[in-house]
Chains A and B, each alone.
Chain A
Amino acid sequence: MTRAALPGPVRRLWPAAALVAALLAGWQVAVTATGVRPQVLPSPLRVVEQGWAFRGQLWENTLPTLQTTLVGFAVSLAVAWTVAVAVDFSPWLRRALTPLLVASQTLPVVAIAPLLIIWFGFGLLPKVLVIALVTFFPVAVGLIEGFAATDRAATALLRSMGASPWQRFRLVRLPGALPRFFTALRIAITYAVTGAIFAEYVGARAGLGIFMQLQRNQFRTDLVLAAVGVTAVLSVTLFALTYLVQRAVTPWYSGDRR
Chain B
Amino acid sequence: MKVTVRELSVAYGALPVLDDVGLDVAPGEFVAIVGPSGCGKSTLFGALTGILDGATVTGEIAVDGGPVRGAPFGLMPQQDLLFPWRTVLDNTTIGLEVAGVGRRAARERARALFAPFGLAGFEDARPGELSGGMRQRAALLRTVVAGREVLLLDEPFGALDALTRTAMQDWLAAMRHDHGWTTVLITHDVREAALLADRVLIFSPRPATVVREVAVDVDRPRDRTDPRLAAVERELLAALRA
Contact = CB atoms under 8 A, between A and B. Distances in A.
Interface of A: 151, 153-154, 156-163, 167, 171-172, 175-176, 178, 250, 252-253, 255-256
A165 to B, nearest CB: 12
A159 to B, nearest CB: 4
B78 interface: yes
B128 interface: yes
B143 to A, nearest CB: 9
Interface stretch (B69-77, B196-204, B228-236): B69-77
Interface size class of B (residues with CB under 8 A): 20 to 34
Interface stretch (B11-19, B28-36, B91-99): B91-99
A253 B74 CA distance: 29
B128 A151 contact: no
A151 B81 contact: yes
B126 interface: yes
A158 B146 CA distance: 12
B75 A160 contact: yes
A156 B51 contact: yes
B24 to A, nearest CB: 21
A15 B49 CA distance: 56
Contacts of B49: 159-160
Given A156-B51, A157-B75, A161-B95, A256 B81 contact: no
Contacts of A167: 98
B94 A161 contact: yes
Interface of B: 46, 49-51, 71, 73-75, 77-79, 81, 83-85, 94-95, 97-99, 126, 128, 146
A238 to B, nearest CB: 25
B99 A162 contact: yes
Nearest to B52: A156
B138 to A, nearest CB: 13
Contact of B126 (A159, A162, A178, A252): A252
B128 A153 contact: no
A252 B85 contact: yes
A122 B70 CA distance: 61
Contact of B146 (A161, A172, A255): A161
Contact of B85 (A157, A159, A175): A175
A171 B91 CA distance: 10
Contact of A156 (B73, B77, B99): B77
Given A153-B77, A161-B71, A171-B97, 4 more contacts: A154-B81, A154-B83, A156-B75, A160-B71
Given A159-B49, A255-B126, A175 B83 contact: yes
A255 B128 contact: yes
B109 to A, nearest CB: 15
A176 B85 CA distance: 8
A161 B99 contact: yes
A52 B238 CA distance: 87
21 contacts: A153-B81, A154-B81, A156-B51, A156-B75, A156-B77, A157-B75, A159-B51, A160-B50, A160-B73, A160-B75, A161-B71, A161-B75, A161-B98, A161-B99, A161-B146, A162-B71, A162-B98, A172-B83, A175-B85, A252-B128, A256-B128
